[in-house]
Structure 1
Amino acid sequence: MQVLIVEDDHHLAAELDRGLESQGFRSRVVSTGREALSLHAEVEVVLLDIGLPDMDGLEVCRTIRATSNVPIIILSGRVDEFDRVLALKLGADDYVTKPHSLRELAARLEAVTRRARDRREAPIPTSTGTIGADVRELRELRIDVRSRRVTVNEQEVHLTRREFNFLELLAREPGKVFSREMIMIEAWGYRDAGDTRTLGVHAASLRRKLGVPVIETVRGVGFRLAL
């Protein structure tokens, strides 16, 4: 597995490079956000520091996610909940704080790439409220599953991977209430739900981007796509 290490601390980057190699990974090391943006398409997963010399790592994450589904793990010394939530909101697949266990980091790298592979290989389910297995429509909302494009009133809406997976799951059965735990597991590939509070952040972001009241919160349970 090819990993892009984006880390401006050369000592730490060298340690990561050696450590991941010992765990069976192949890695490329860069120290700037611009290098990360030019090379992310050539690897299977990006290990991204936030504090980079030329641009904020969260901006790098947002920019990559706008055009690519490559898994991204944030590796940062910032432990504040706001940073973790913001990173996930911008499209990161995981967030690991420094100092970290090499074995845990290796396991997380394997997990995010496995989930990405499973999503690519999973069959596209049919559902009510669709005009085919690949396209789901509900009033002014149109979701093209194969191209991962969403339009509202024929205007494209750009979503992060997590936001798209969240919306696409709800659209499989409009009107059905999906529990928070089910969304974490089915849409995001978690083995267990863990902390589901970030779902509220993603739901709010989706509502803002879509601009139409299609995502309803069912208090104490989860979410549904309004009929």
Structure 2
Amino acid sequence: MRSARPSRPATAAEAHLLLVEDDEVIRNTVRMLLERYGFTVSTAGDGLTGLEMFRETDPDLLLLDVMLPDLDGIGLCRRVRELSLAPILMMSARGDALDVVSGLEAGADDYVVKPCESAVLVARIRSLLRRVSFSPAGAGAASDARADSAVLAFGDLTVDTRGMEVRRAGQVVALTPTELRMLLEFAGSPGVVLERRTLLSRVWDHAWHGDTRVVDLHVQRLRAKIGADRIETVRGFGYKLRR
């Protein structure tokens, strides 16, 4: 698996996006919109072509429709996750709960519902790009803990906040930028309950009242990688990292 590269660009002028959308009108409209904002955009009209282009071009971000011919968006998302930790933004025409959950479980970082306002789409893309190239000091509450130690330990789990490396029982844990940023938030305040809205704001930069299922699904994915009992659910409030 290719790891996410913290040095990847966070600005539109430097970022290369791959848009996979089967509707030609929507595909061209979104491409032109994103190019007006300064992004470089490659496009594909089906899942298999999208997968091949991803392998060839190694884009900074994948913008992916759910309903695709040959290989659907959920399947493509899973295949990409086998290759890379690059951020993935799913697009759903229906906003159906099953689409959202399936996409996030497959490894997507975030989602938007079509039709989507251009400002919202661009904001989500920029947020994901910032997450890939974020400075360790910019990860919310976790920055306070870094002043005392670069390596935080929680049982057999260690978080190197400078090297951006996580190990469990000595083995490196491959985390997406979103998962890493979430873990840093938890690690900066062990034992403290973080509300879903707080995590949505800090990790996803969602100032609006976004869908907290994004948080719940990423907590599930993070638990699967660092240990199911490491992050505790506090019903009615949120989550906390066990000390």
Partner of 1:215: 231
Cα deviations by residue, 1:89-122 (Å, 9 ceiling, x for unpaired) = 3342332333x14xx1353224332453266343
In the alignment, is residue 113 of structure 1 matched against residue 130 of structure 2? no
In structure 2, relative to structure 1, the CA distance for the partners of 1:123 and 1:160 (3 Å cut) is closer
In the alignment, is residue 178 of structure 1 matched against residue 191 of structure 2? no
Cα pair 1:33 1:52 within 8 Å, conserved = no
Distance in 2, Cα, partners of 1:119 & 1:158: 14
Distance in 2, Cα, partners of 1:211 & 1:123: 23
> Which of 5, 21, 24 is equivalent to 1:10?
24
Worse overlay, 73-82 or 22-31: 22-31
Cα deviations by residue, 1:135-181 (Å, 9 ceiling, x for unpaired) = 32111011233454332212333333333222221111211221221
Matched residue pairs, number? 221
State the one-letter code of the partner of 1:108.
L
State the one-letter code of the partner of 1:132.
S
SS in structure 2 at match of 1:51: coil
In the alignment, is residue 155 of structure 1 matched against residue 168 of structure 2? no
State the one-letter code of the partner of 1:61.
C
Partner of 1:127: 145
Question: What TM-score do the two structures reach when normalised by structure 2?
Answer: 0.74
Partner of 1:195: 211
SS in structure 2 at match of 1:112: helix
Question: What TM-score do the two structures reach when normalised by structure 1?
Answer: 0.78
Distance in 2, Cα, partners of 1:106 & 1:25: 14
**RMSD across aligned positions (CA):** 3.0
Percent of residue pairs bearing the same amino acid type: 35
Partner of 1:85: 101
Greater RCO between the two (CA within 8 Å, min separation 6)?
Answer: 2
State the one-letter code of the partner of 1:47.
L
SS in structure 2 at match of 1:127: helix
Shift of 1:226: 0.9
In the alignment, structure 2 segments of 5+ residues that lack a partner are 1-11, 138-142
Worse overlay, 181-190 or 24-33: 24-33
SS in structure 1 at match of 2:112: strand
In the alignment, structure 1 segments of 5+ residues that lack a partner are none
Distance in 2, Cα, partners of 1:184 & 1:91: 17
